[in-house]
Amino acid sequence: MSIYRTVKPLILGSGSPRRKDLLQSAGLEFKITPATCDEPAPLPGQDPEDYAIKMAELKAENVAASNKGAYILGSDTIVVRDMEILGKPKHREEAYQMVKSLCGRKHKVISGCALISPDGERISYAVSTEVEFIEFNDPAVRSYAATGEPDDKAGAYAIQGQGAFLVKGICGSYTNVVGLPLAKVLETLVSYGVIVPGDG
């Protein structure tokens, strides 16, 4: 028995296995068509939420251009420390330094989401979650960086993976930190009639 069922064509414009798993956990059926556009760096002084939304819109528009008959969901998740957007580490040492800089303090994880309908109507928004890390523990952080898990993760950690040991607490949506604010996304899809509650 599924919580929701999909009644209109839906495409996830992302190849993220985490976003796929989150949507499937609610019973949704959808196609996956990853966006192929370049992701420009944030402009100097650009608001992080604005940047996350712009990236989500860019991805959704890229996929919508060749998929006219479906609803397109685009998303982008960023990690922000003191208004600085942290990208994916380029190597293991940078992963270590990035995680080290987050330890013993709070940061934000922001997901921008954009939904484009077949007739071009769109809605976009950002969801922010505050995350607090443990105090700095050099051997453990170095060991974590060496696992390779941080290599392709914004902010160099995965809360749903081994990186969970770093997290002292969160305020806000957990799934947002994983990569998609599921409750808000489902609410949006329901409001557009893309999904309906599953049959009891």
Question: Which residues are the active-site residues?
Answer: 76
Dist CA 75 CA 112 (whole Å): 5
Angle (CA) 23-18-118 rounded to 5° is: 45
Q: Which two tokens stand for residue 128?
A: 């922010």
Dist CA 41 CA 87 (whole Å): 9
Cβ atoms of 152 and 159 within 8 Å: the answer is no
Short-list 123, 102, 129, CA closest to 48: 129
